[in-house]
């Protein structure tokens, strides 16, 4: 087991920066997920930790060892790729044991390790099959088993579920979480899927344009984003953003979203936003914080009427879309309460979960 540390790591492809001076500390046995859009540098970062890409500058430590000049085979890491990379002519047992056989492990120890990993992954009955006889999910389990039997210091996962269909991805996500609970090895996992990141990680590293935007637990990133990018990237559907102005509204502050709609700022937020009175800001509120009216308003909530443009029934919930000052806004309501497109609906905004963003630097105030 080992901690992993990156110190001011930079990666340039010719003159194009892929990773721009990131610092990251990963604790022993921690499950870290690197998440971000395509081209943000997450896979490049993982490949530098693995030794498959050379860092242009900076230092990478696995345990106490500086590994910048250590070849991949000597870093004591195991990597699971998007492509399963199984040998088609070998059985599952032979694929899982291949690395151990190369290192001349005793046959009995190989057998014990493979059988133990197969039991964890529930593939004991598949050990005599070849890859072409397996489903996609079973092949991915074999690839994970091949990594587990090596008992490495660090597991590296590079978008391992992106080739699977939606239902199987959910199932395999659960399997990976179960495996980590049994085999508590330091794990670094790369994905572009923020739902995958939130459900798997102890901590999530949100990357954008080669930099780290924010590091935190799923709860911290969801409820306390530090930048507009993180606020908009984490959560599905994405957070609503509207241009607004903070104004004095008698005894309290208000957020004016249009000539017809101003929402009160909760008293607990007033001191934080006071410096932004009469300034233009970006107002953010998640769809799940815009719901149907349920009678008495709880503290910090504000009711308003909206004409519905689009109504999307999703079974256990219904998404409603309406326009505020030319911007489409999404709410999440009880299906029994949802109106029809063209109708006016009474909605409630939970302002306790609002965010104001400074448009000059995209930082959450």
pLDDT at 299: 85
b (16+ CB within 10 A) / e for 13-31:
eeeeebbebbebebeeebb
Residue predicted with more confidence, 19 or 184? 19
166-216 pLDDT, tens digit per residue, is 777 888 888 888 888 888 889 999 998 888 999 999 999 999 999 999 999
Q: 5-14, 39-48, 209-218, 246-255: lowest mean pLDDT where?
A: 246-255
pLDDT at 168: 77
- Residue 301: enclosing H or E segment and its boundaries? strand 301-313
pLDDT band at 165 (very low <50, low <70, confident <90, very high): confident
pLDDT band at 362 (very low <50, low <70, confident <90, very high): very high
Q: What are residue 4's DSSP bridge partners?
A: 26, 62
Asked if CATH classification 3.40.50.300 holds for the domain at 4-226, the reply, yes or no, is yes
pLDDT band at 296 (very low <50, low <70, confident <90, very high): confident
Q: 26-30, 150-154, 196-200, 218-222: lowest mean pLDDT where?
A: 150-154
Q: Across residues 137-155, what is the average pLDDT?
A: 87
Q: Across residues 130-154, what is the average pLDDT?
A: 87
pLDDT at 102: 86
270-285 pLDDT, tens digit per residue, is 888 888 989 999 999 9
4-226 and 240-364: same fold? no
End-to-end CA distance of the chain: 39
Percentage above 90 pLDDT, the chain = 55
* Among candidate residues 295, 297, 271, the one with its CA nearest the CA of residue 351: 297
Segments making up each domain of the chain, as ranges: 4-226, 240-364
pLDDT band at 1 (very low <50, low <70, confident <90, very high): low
pLDDT at 56: 93
Architecture of domain 240-364: Beta Barrel (2.40)
**φ and ψ at residue 143, rounded to 5 degrees:** -60, -40
- Distances in Å between the alpha carbon of 270 and those of 204, 226, 257? 30, 18, 17
* Distance between CA atoms of residues 69 and 78, nearest Å: 18
Instruction: Concatenate the DSSP letters of all residues of 209-226 into one string.
Output: TTEEEEEE-HHHHHHS-S
Q: Is the pLDDT of residue 163 over 80?
A: no
Q: Is the pLDDT of residue 26 over 90?
A: yes
* Distance between CA atoms of residues 260 and 251, nearest Å: 20
Reduced to 3 states (helix: H, G, I; strand: E, B; else coil), residue 356 is: strand
- Hunting for tokens 């899927």 — which residue is that? 193
In a 10 Å sphere around its CB, with 0-12 CB exposed, 13-18 middle and 19+ buried, how is residue 170 labelled?
Answer: middle
pLDDT at 141: 85
* Among candidate residues 212, 203, 282, the one with its CA nearest the CA of residue 242: 282
Instruction: Report the interhelical angle of 136-148 vs 92-102 (nearest 10°).
Output: 20
CB 226 within 8 A of CB 233: no
32-61 pLDDT, tens digit per residue, is 999 999 889 999 999 999 999 999 999 999
- Distances in Å between the alpha carbon of 293 and those of 105, 201, 207, 306? 66, 35, 37, 12
* Distance between CA atoms of residues 349 and 286, nearest Å: 9
* Among candidate residues 21, 24, 25, the one with its CA nearest the CA of residue 9: 21
297-344 pLDDT, tens digit per residue, is 888 889 999 999 999 999 899 999 999 988 999 999 999 888 888 899
CA trace torsion 9, 225, 255, 362 (10° rounding): 10
pLDDT at 222: 93
* Among candidate residues 324, 343, 345, the one with its CA nearest the CA of residue 332: 345
In the sheet where 65-66 sits, what is the strand order? 16-26, 4-13, 57-62, 65-66
Strands 186-191 and 31-35: parallel
64-88 pLDDT, tens digit per residue, is 899 999 998 888 898 888 777 889 9
Q: Across residues 120-124, what is the average pLDDT?
A: 85
CB 290 within 8 A of CB 345: no
Helix residue spans in the chain (DSSP H)? 42-50, 92-102, 107-121, 136-148, 166-182, 194-200, 218-223, 228-233, 267-273
Extract the tokens encoding 50: 């693995």
* Among candidate residues 129, 2, 131, 149, the one with its CA nearest the CA of residue 63: 2
């Amino acid at each position: 087991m080992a901690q992993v540390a990156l110190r001011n790591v930079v990666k340039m492809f010719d003159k194009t920066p892929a990773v721009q001076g990131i610092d990251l500390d990963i604790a022993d046995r921690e499950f870290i997920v690197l998440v971000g859009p395509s081209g943000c540098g997450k896979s490049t970062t993982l490949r530098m930790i693995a030794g498959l890409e050379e860092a242009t500058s900076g230092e990478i430590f696995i345990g106490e060892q500086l590994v910048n000049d250590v070849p991949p085979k000597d870093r004591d890491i195991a990597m699971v790729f998007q492509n399963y990379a199984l040998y088609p002519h070998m059985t599952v047992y032979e694929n899982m044991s291949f690395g151990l056989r190369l290192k001349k492990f005793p046959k009995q120890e190989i057998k014990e390790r493979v059988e133990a990993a197969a039991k964890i992954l529930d593939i004991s009955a598949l050990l005599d099959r070849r890859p072409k006889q397996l489903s996609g999910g079973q092949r991915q389990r074999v690839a994970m088993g091949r990594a587990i039997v090596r008992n490495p210091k660090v597991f590296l996962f590079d978008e391992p579920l992106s080739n699977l269909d939606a239902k199987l991805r959910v199932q395999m996500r659960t399997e990976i979480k179960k495996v980590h609970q049994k085999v508590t090895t330091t794990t670094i996992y790369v994905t572009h899927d923020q739902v995958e990141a939130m459900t798997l990680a102890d901590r999530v590293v949100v990357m954008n344009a080669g930099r780290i935007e924010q590091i935190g637990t799923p709860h911290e990133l969801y409820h306390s984003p530090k930048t507009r990018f993180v606020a908009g990237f984490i959560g599905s559907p994405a957070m609503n953003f509207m241009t607004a102005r903070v104004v004095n509204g008698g005894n309290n502050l208000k957020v004016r979203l249009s000539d017809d709609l101003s929402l009160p700022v909760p008293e607990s937020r007033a001191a934080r936003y006071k410096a932004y009175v009469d300034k233009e800001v970006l107002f953010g509120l998640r769809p799940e914080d815009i719901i149907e009216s349920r009678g008495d308003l709880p503290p910090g909530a504000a009711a308003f009427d909206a004409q519905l443009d689009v109504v999307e029934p999703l079974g256990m919930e219904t998404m409603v879309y309406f326009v505020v000052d030319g911007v489409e806004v999404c709410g999440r309501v009880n299906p029994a309460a949802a109106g029809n497109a063209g109708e006016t609906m009474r909605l409630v905004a939970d302002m306790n979960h609002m965010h104001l963003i400074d448009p000059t630097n995209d930082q959450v105030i």
